[in-house]
Amino acid sequence: MLEMLKHDFLRHALGAAIIAGASLSFIGVYVILRRIVFVGAALAQLGAAGVGLALLTGQSLLLGAAVAVLAGAFSFVIMPQQERTISRESLLGAAYALASAFALLFVALSPVGEAHISSLLFGDLLAVGHGDMELLAAACLLIVVVHLIAYHAFVAVIVDPTFAHSVGVKECWVNLLFYLSLGALIGACIRAIGALVVFAFLVLPPIAGLIWARSLKFVFIIAIAIASISAILGLWLSFAYDLPAGPAVVAVCGGLTFLAAAIRWLVNFKFR
């Protein structure tokens, strides 16, 4: 581990992975509680499509991802919950499929596309520079602060929308703020860690937190801890065994979540 930290690019990669993982797992708790995992998947793929389009047109990759994800987030807010014949989930599924297809098509059409197909899915942590990490940290910090300020409104809308409405919480504005902040976070992270790693951090650590914690506060703490440990161990395995960084981080994150679920099952079984 100490040998890994001697290299500047690995320190930047580790910092970016921890910052992105902790922020995404924090917001991911709301994603799981709201039961909108498919929205997270669709937004991640839209971000990948934005990166692919930016590669094709020679624009900023971060800007391309952010614009695509924010446009998708706004569309999900105004999307009807249920049409007469087409459900919201069906529309999200269509968005996910189309975004995935266009992401690969844009990259394939790009003159440098072949070299970016893997980074589109798993990011390019080892290419994160000094300025990139600071920009990512500032964006993540801003979004997390917004969520901390709006914590009670977000929780009220999830737990009891009727009560939230009765005390003056505007559910439509709270939902708009949530989706736009989720989109902004995914857009900020997708260039560094890729679509699949973003989705893994949004889902896996919060699941581990919800399996173990008895209060929402500890759900957040466990989720952030799992994401941070996954980033550290995943990058160490990548360095020690010459593995791709993104898949190694996802594998560790999945393993820790499975371990948390298995231990919880054993504890419950033992004390039945």
Residue pLDDT, tens place only, 71-105: 888 888 777 655 556 677 788 888 888 988 888 88
Which distant-in-sequence residues (6+ apart) come within 8 Å of 256 by Cβ? 204, 208, 226, 229, 230
Residue 213, domain member (yes or no):
yes
> What is the per-residue pLDDT across 173-203, written as a single tens digit (0 to 9) for each?
888 899 889 988 998 888 788 888 899 999 9
Report if residue 272 sits inside a domain: no
Q: What percent of the chain has pLDDT over 90?
A: 33
User: Span 29-53, mean pLDDT?
Assistant: 89
Angle in degrees, CA 121, 56, 244, rounded to 5 = 25
Mean pLDDT of 5-19: 85
pTM over 0.75: yes
- Residue 104 structural domain: 4-267
Q: What is the pLDDT of residues 128-172, one digit of tens each?
A: 777 778 888 999 999 999 999 999 899 988 887 777 778 788 888
Split into its structural domains, the chain has a count of 1
φ, ψ for residue 87 (rounded to 5)?
-80, 160
- The Cα 228–Cα 230 span in angstroms is 5
- Cα separation of 179 and 157, whole Å? 13
In this prediction, residue 167 carries a pLDDT of 76
Is residue 122 a contact partner of residue 103, using CB atoms and an 8 Å limit? no
Assign residue 68 the CATH number of its domain.
1.10.3470.10
